[in-house]
Structure 1
Amino acid sequence: MSLIKQLWIAIAVVTLIALGGSLVVSTLSARHYLEQQLQVKNLDNATSLALSLSQMPKDPVTVELQIAAQFDAGHYRLIRLTSPTGDVVAEREYAGSLDGAPEWFTRLVPIKAHAGVAQVQDGWHQFGTLTLESHKRYAYAALWQGTLQLLGWFVLGGALTGLIGTLIIKHITRPLGRVVEQAEAIGGRRFVTTPEPSTMEFRSVVRAMNTLSERVRTILAEESRRLEQLRRQTQHDEMTGLLNRSQFLNQLDSALARDDAHAAGTLLIARVGDLTGLNQRIGRAQTDRLLHDLAGQFSDFAAGRANWQVGRINGSDFALLAPGEENAPELTAALAKQLHDGLDAHLQDVTVALPVAATAYAAGEARSQVLARADGALAAAEQAGDRGVRVDGGGKAAAPYPDLQSWRAALLSALERDGVRLGAYPVVANDGRLLHEEAPIRLLLDGVWQPAGYFMPRVARLGLMPRFDMAVVHAALHAISGDGRERGINVSAESLCDANFRGELFALLQADAAAAKRLWIEVPEYGALRHLAEFRTLCVALQPLGCRVGIEHVGAHFGELGDLHELGLDYVKIDSAVIRGIDANAGNQAFLRGLCMIVHSLGLMAIAEGVESESETRALPDLGIDGMTGPAVRTPSAA
């Protein structure tokens, strides 16, 4: 029950108690006053009439007429004249009802006034005794009207008191609304702080809740820092700070398995020639500094690019993984120029051989094929000279369309012909329960259903991501309405930043509320962190609709997840680069265990992506994973 309702009940009870007491006191006082006035009136009127009768002739007719005239002129219940022997000489009595007040009221509050008694003289002799009693109906009417007026004033006063009290309570309890919102936010895993109100009681509550939020935030920040240190120790090269070989290859595997706009890309490798001889010529310290500066050049080149990764894959080889970048020649030339210029500025008297090679890759290729092409291109670059640059075109098949305009026409035609279908990849909880089905888009191009990795890079280059994401939403809601199974869909960073897409998405989900409650919507990690304001808008709008909202491909920037604690997320999907070979990688096991602990502290579900083997499936639950998806994961029925 709300505080306002309780206030109204309290006012009603207090008003009733006050009214009851006032009614009893005022009614009894008024009755006593009326009884006194009636008694005085009876006595005065009896004395006046007896005096008149004493001065008049005492014949029966005259006496009778005088008494009748007095009775008719006043409001009397009884006038009686009795002789000294007790005989009635003359009498007038009102036999009507008391219609001045309800009968129950007259019974509840009886008015008892003594009759007026006076002696009638006949000269020096007593002629008789006169008894006079005024009618009480007017006294009852006055008492009843007074009671009704008092009741009306109390009702009016109670209503005004309630209204004024309501306004006062609303003003006083205004901070209580913020306290409730903060409590609901903490219950929803959003650790926010609010300004302290002026009311002392509320201030202590808000202060305690703010302290709780800050404490949780501090704990999460400290755990994130410790986990980041562990990640750098286990996944990064100690001297250069770049990814070590095993983790870089895991990132390459993850990139080759992608099925989105960044499914294709470029792998670049640069090799420091004759590293042993360089150590002898300029010394170990200078060589280490050279390698460190070279790593910095790689990091600067990749800075700000979504999902680009830089690693040191052996003592002299540095590699750059550029998902989504298919213009390998231009990218390689830009990187080679930056690296070579940096070397010349660092060592002016010593020429350092630094050949650069690159190869394009496509979704679904094997890692060994991509690395073989990169090694071949690097060997050719070494043969071309100390600063040779070579690009391998990759093993891509001939493009089905000659230019982007042809791609645009084919893609839009497929959308218009309803050539959209969703895949179905199970996401299963540790207990075997199906959480949802991942539903990547499939498109009918030239009569063949193509996976997302085949056409999504072109969709991104053409700026069509919002239209394709909306087509996926329509298809997912239709599928949910058909079989009732929960679906998980991806929303790209481009769509996240499109206000029209967000508005259309909200309207569509509101129109189909039942299906919306069975929809899981996830945004890539880099998109959520780079466009935090838009992602916050999305989360706030989707929360009342019952959708599950999460982040996919979590790993590289996990330390920034603490910034998302107030958004009320439901789950995260941890990138396959962290999951790959987890059963045999003690360093990644420690990192994943800490990451899951932070995720659980935020109240989120941790789901592993790209699970490829039974050994990984067995190891993941012990590390804190709540669910998993990938080639090794089967639906409960299939299992």
Structure 2
Amino acid sequence: MSLIKQLWLAIALVTALSLGGSFIVSTLSARHYLQQELALKNMDNATSLALSLSQMPKDGVTVELQIAAQFDTGHYRLIRLTGPGGDVLVEREYGGEAAKAPHWFMALVPIETRAGIAQVQDGWHQFGTLQVETHDRYAYDSLWTSTQQLLWWFLGSGLLAGLIGTFALKRLTRPLESMVEQAEAIGNRRFITIPEPRTLEFRSVVRALNALSERIRTMLTQESQRLEQLRRQTQHDELTGLFNRSQFLNQLDAALSRHDADASGFIYALRITSLAELNRHAGRARVDETLVRLAAALRAFPLPAARLDHGRLNASEFALLAQGEGEDSLGMLDTLTAQLHALVREQLPEAELFAASAHYTAGEARGPLLASLDGALARAEQSGARHTVIADARPPLYTSADAWRTAIVKALEHGGLALHRFPVLDMAGQVIHYESPVRLCLAGDWLNAGQFLPWAARCGQAERIDAQVLATACETLARDPACPGLSINLSTEALGHTSMRESFIATLQAHRQIARRLWVDVQESSALRHPTEFRMLCTALSALGCKVGLKHAGQDFAHIPGLHELGLDYIKISAAFIRDIDHTPGNQTLVHSLCTLAHSIGLTVIAEGVGNPGEASTLAGLGLDGMTGPGLPAAPDRTMPGSR
């Protein structure tokens, strides 16, 4: 029951008790007063009339006329004159209307008065006894009127007190609403602070909640900083700050296994020849300074890609991995090569730098890709090229954007979109939910998302694909009540575009019951690029019961602003951290710390890309809640076609 209702009940109870007590006291007091007044009036009137009759002639007509005149001028119920022998000489009694007060009221509060008695003398002899009783109907009417006035007064006072109390209580409890919001936010793992109210009791509670939020926020900040420091120690080259070889190759493996719009890209490599000779002639300090400047220039060069990873493969080789690259990225590589060559020659005139690049697509094997890149670097060295040598690439499925658009639209119109199922298992081997990557049938083959989504985004078809993916997932969940849940990917375009995001939310609002079994994956890089939109999405989907999480997480997890206030449900750690984790103690420590940080704000942690039983066995002891990947015992692949 709300405080307002409790206040009204209290006021009604107090008013009833006050009215009852006041009614009893005032009524009894008024009755006592009226009884005394009526008794005095009876006595005075009887004495006065008896004196008048004593001085008058005692014939019957005169006495009767005097008594009748007195009776007619006053409010009497009875005037009776009896003789010494008890016989009634004259009697007048009122036989008109009774009091206006209700009978139940007169029965509840009876007014009893003594009659006025006086002796009528005839000289020295007693003529008779006079009895006078004033009518009590006016007393009852007066008492009833005063009681009604008292009742209305108390009702009006109670109503006024209730209205004043309501406004006062709303004003006093206004800070309570903020306290409730803060408590709910803490329950949803959002540790916010609110201004301290003026009310002393509320102030102490708010101060305690704010202290709790600040303490947890400080702890999370410190843990995030420690996690970032640990990541740099285990994954980065000590001199240049770039990824070391093993981690860069893990990043490449994770990029090749992606199935989203950022699944294609290119790898760019550069090599400084004769580094050992340069160390002997120019000195190690000068060479190290040149390498640091080279790494800084490589990292600072602006390439229009969804994600850029930079690594040092060995002492003299550097690499850049561009995921989801823009159309102009490859054309900018010659400019990058020229700038880096000029920087190295400025520091070390005798140095030579050569560069090469190779394009990759989702599902491609790492070995052949790196072999083609090495071949391109070898050709650059043999020819002495000052530009970027492009490795041989496989011909694309379609040669133009218009051809891609036509093929994608045709596939969508003819039911060529489908969702596949890959189980996400908990540590006991039970299915948590199914990942549902999208597939599109083009040129007779089912292509994974990484092969067609980049072109779909360029052709303006990303919104249509997102809408069909969501509709297919909702239809599947409605058709299969036993399914524990499906996870679908929300594209970067849908997250950053207002109308696409609102359409996505509106569809889920129309399927509220199904929304509770839907898991929405958002790429960590997308959340970093669109932090405000991501916060709005988390708020809207959480209200619908839908689970929201980060996919390919870990690299920038500690950098997401307001992580503890977003209300996320889970994270999926990128396969770049999982590859060969059974042989990488540094990544084991990093994943364990990441789990500790995520669990501290109530997130479920799932490992992506588990490739073999050794990785799965190692992950089981690091505190994860679930895992997925080709190295796990998987349920049969089930395809969920779109509406036809």
Matched residues in 2 for 1:635 and 1:68: separation? 118
Residue identity matched to 1:156: G
Provide Cα deviations, 1:286-345, integer angstroms capped at 9, x if missing partner: 111111111112211267843211111111111111112276752431321221122233
Q: Which residue of 1 aligns with 2:421?
A: 424
Query: Aligned letter for 2:88?
Result: V
Query: Contact 1:382–1:388 at 8 Å: present in 2 too?
Result: no
AA matched with 1:555: G
Counterpart AA for 1:193: T
The code of the aligned residue for 2:612 comes to S
Decide which of 435, 438, 443 is 2:440's aligned counterpart.
Answer: 443
Tell me the SS of whatever aligns to 2:268.
strand
Q: Which residue of 1 aligns with 2:470?
A: 473
2:488 aligned partner = 489
Which AA in structure 1 matches 2:334? A
Structure-1 residue corresponding to 2:217: 217
How far 1:79 sits from its partner (Å)? 2.1
Q: 2:109 maps to what in 1?
A: 109
Q: Please name the residue that 2:369 is paired with.
A: 370
Query: What is the CA distance between 1:73 and its match in structure 2?
Result: 5.2
Structure 2 Cα separation of the partners of residues 293 and 430 of structure 1: 46
Deviations 1:145-179 (A, max 9, x none): 21121011101101111101111111122111111
- 2:633 & 2:142 partners in 1: Cα distance? 90
> What's the CA shift string for 1:573-609, capped at 9, x where partnerless?
1101001111221110000000110001111111111
1:346 is matched with which residue?
347
The CA distance in 2 between the partners of 1:100 and 1:87, in whole Å, is: 35
Distance in 2 (alpha carbons) for counterparts of 1:200 and 1:495: 47
CA–CA separation in structure 1 for the residues paired with 2:526 and 2:21: 71
2:417 and 2:62 mapped to 1: Cα distance?
A: 120
- Structure 2 match to 1:405: 402
- 3-state SS in 1 of match to 2:568: coil
Report the 3-state secondary structure (helix = DSSP H, G, I; strand = E; otherwise coil) of the residue aligned with 1:355: strand
| Cross-structure match for 1:543 | 542
Structure 2 gaps, min length 5: 638-644
Q: Which runs of 5+ in 1 are unaligned?
A: none
Any residues of structure 2 matched to 1:73-84 within 5 Å, and which?
Answer: 74-84=74-84
Measure the CA separation in 2 of the matches of 1:522 and 1:501: 16
Query: How many residues are paired up?
Result: 634
Deviates more, 1:523-532 or 1:379-388: 379-388
Shift of 1:210: 1.5
The SS at the match of 2:352 is: coil
Aligned counterparts of 2:635 and 2:109: Cα–Cα separation in 1: 82
User: In structure 2, what is the Cα distance between the partners aligned to 1:304 and 1:155?
Assistant: 75
Matches of 2:49 and 2:433, distance apart in 1: 105
Structure 1: distance between partners of 2:431 and 2:68: 105
| Structure 2 residue aligned with 1:258 | 258
8 A contact 1:253–1:577 mirrored in 2: yes
CA distance in 1, matches of 2:628, 2:459: 30
CA–CA distance in 1 between the matches of 2:469 and 2:399? 26
- The verdict on how the C-alpha distance between 1:199 and 1:300 changes in structure 2, with shifts beyond 3 A counting, is same
Structure-1 residue corresponding to 2:169: 169
- Shift in alpha-carbon separation, 1:66–1:550, aligned structure 2, 3 A: same
- Decide whether the 8 Å contact of 2:422 with 2:635 is kept in 1: no
Q: Is the 8 A contact 1:432 1:636 kept in 2?
A: no
Q: Report how far residue 95 of structure 1 moved.
A: 6.7
Q: Distance in 2 between matches of 1:119 and 1:556?
A: 118
Over the matched positions of the two proteins, sequence identity in percent amounts to 55
- Residues 1:389 and 2:381 are matched in the alignment: no
The reply to whether residue 631 of structure 1 matches residue 630 of structure 2 is yes
Q: Would the aligned equivalents of 2:531 and 2:561 in 1 still touch at CA under 8 Å?
A: no
Q: Secondary structure at the match of 1:191?
A: coil
Q: Contact 2:305–2:324 at 8 Å: present in 1 too?
A: no
Do 1:272 and 1:355's aligned partners in 2 also have CA atoms closer than 8 Å?
yes
Higher deviation after alignment, 301-310 or 170-179:
301-310
- Flag the 1:96–1:416 CA change in 2: closer, same or farther, 3 A: farther
Q: Distance in 2 between matches of 1:442 and 1:69?
A: 117
Query: Residue 306 of structure 1: SS of its match in structure 2?
Result: strand
CA contact (8 A) 2:78 2:133 kept: yes
Aligned-partner Cα distance in 1 for 2:444–2:62: 131
Task: Report which stretch shifted further, 401-410 or 601-610.
Answer: 401-410
C-alpha contact (below 8 Å) 2:341/2:352 kept by paired residues: no
In the TM superposition, what is the alpha-carbon distance from 1:488 to its structure 2 partner? 0.8
In 1, the alpha carbon distance for the partners of 2:625 and 2:241 equals 31
Is residue 438–residue 449 contact of structure 2 (8 Å, CA) maintained in 1?
A: yes
Q: Distance between the aligned counterparts of 1:519 and 1:542, measured in 2?
A: 10
Does structure 1 residue 199 correspond to structure 2 residue 199? Answer: yes
Alignment of 1:522-541 (within 5 A): 522-541=521-540
- In the TM superposition, residue 244 of structure 1 has moved relative to its aligned partner by 0.8
CA contact 1:329–1:391 (8 Å) conserved in 2: no
23-32 or 228-237, which deviates more:
23-32
Contact 1:224 1:559 in 2 (8 A): yes
How many angstroms apart in 2 are the aligned matches of 1:11 and 1:453?
Answer: 68
CA change 1:634–1:163 in 2 (3 A) is: farther
Deviations 1:183-238 (A, max 9, x none): 11111100111122222222222222112111111111111111111111111111
CA distance in 1, matches of 2:156, 2:635: 69
TM-score by length of 1: 0.94
- Partners of 1:224 and 1:91 in 2: how far apart? 108
CA 1:604–1:4: 2 relative to 1, 3 Å: same
Partner of 2:615: 616
Task: Find the counterpart in structure 1 of residue 235 from structure 2.
Answer: 235
Contact 1:353 1:386 in 2 (8 A): no
Aligned to 2:147: 147
Q: CA deviation at 1:420?
A: 2.1
Aligned to 2:18: 18
The farther-off stretch of 112-121 and 232-241 is 112-121
8 A Cα contact 1:35 1:112, kept in partner: yes
Structure 1 residues 452, 66: CA separation in 2 closer, same or farther (over 3 Å shift)?
same
1:604 equivalent in structure 2: 603
Instruction: Work out whether residues 39 and 114 of structure 1, in 8 Å CA contact, stay in contact via their aligned partners in 2.
Output: yes
1:326 and 1:509 mapped to 2: Cα distance?
32
8 Å CA contact retained: 2:345, 2:352: no
Q: Structure 1 pair 98/433, CA: closer, same or farther in 2 (3 Å)?
A: farther
Most deviating of 570-579 and 169-178: 169-178
Partner in structure 2 of residue 581 of structure 1 = 580
SS at match of 1:44: helix
CA positional deviation for 1:53: 3.4
Whole-Å Cα distance in 2 between the matches of residues 108 and 610 of structure 1? 88
